[in-house]
Amino acid sequence: MKIAIWQTQSSHCDYTANLARLDSALQEAAGQGASLLITPEMFLSGYVLNERTREMAETFPLAALQALAGKWQIAIIAGGPLAADGKVFNASYFISSLGEISGIYRKTHLFGELDKSQFTAGDQPVCIIPCNGVNIALLICYDVEFPETVRAAANAGAHLVAVATAQMKPFDFVNKHLIATRAWENQLYVAYVNQTGQEEHLEYVGLSLVAGPDGQVIAQASETQEQLLYAQIDPSQVIQAQRDNPYLTDLRTDIL
């Protein structure tokens, strides 16, 4: 399956502008034969919402997002706030190429005071959506920095872990070193899709990437440019890599 990762900058609190730009990105990705487009963390709304958090969650344009997926017949992972149970969550929405809601993941590990002041942490550790023969697990930003999250996805049968992120300075070591390590130690693909530019006090580091089951980087974006990059995801490569390097089965779970 061919995926597209879209490194871009949100228009802050402007659903209309972000949907229009997403429309263009989907057209390009569909034209290149991609089956899935992954956007950064909180792309549709912007990340620093503060007092507008609940307003943006309650007006989240889910129907418009579904319409775009159906229009271009391409699946979308798009980030934004989710209002549910009287709370607001930092969410990734998985919309199928038919425009149907296939899954919604709520960020389980909140980073810093900004995240914690805006959102409630989710409590579902693994969210896997099958798409074109590929099992895709959803994580958001800080989640992937804990090895247990990716290991749980691998043990549940994920071939690809799709991580929407808004990674900022000075934490670019995550992009440069940690993501490929997560792919290697679980023998699966990891797509890490970041914002660019500046938002309020945050300066994003870009450097979106896709790493393969062998730990090699397949696609890598720059620090500052908006880019639409592509990668092929092959489940057979995951199966073979897990046979060749059997961390998952060799782990001594009886003593750990």
Given 127, 131, 141, 145, the catalytic residue? 141
Q: Which residues contact 178 (CB under 8 A, 6 or more apart)?
A: 144, 145
Asked if 141 is an active-site residue, the reply is: yes
CA distances from 188 to 3, 69, 183 (A): 15, 26, 5
Given 107, 127, 145, 199, the catalytic residue? 107
Given 41, 127, 131, 199, the catalytic residue? 41
Residue at 83: amino acid letter:
A
CA distances from 194 to 128, 173, 204, 222 (A): 21, 13, 8, 11
Q: Which residue has the tokens 């290697």?
A: 184
Residue at 251: amino acid letter:
L
CA atoms within 13 A on the CB side of 148: 4
Pairing of strands 87-95, 101-106: antiparallel
Asked if 223 is an active-site residue, the reply is: no
**What's the CA gap between 56 and 42, in Å, rounded?**
11
**What's the token pair of residue 5?**
């990762």
CA distances from 190 to 17, 161, 231 (A): 28, 5, 11
**What's the token pair of residue 8?**
């871009």
**What's the CA gap between 242 and 27, in Å, rounded?**
35
Q: Which residue has the tokens 């693909």?
A: 189
Asked if 2 is an active-site residue, the reply is: no
**What's the token pair of residue 2?**
């061919």
Cite the active site residues: 41, 107, 141
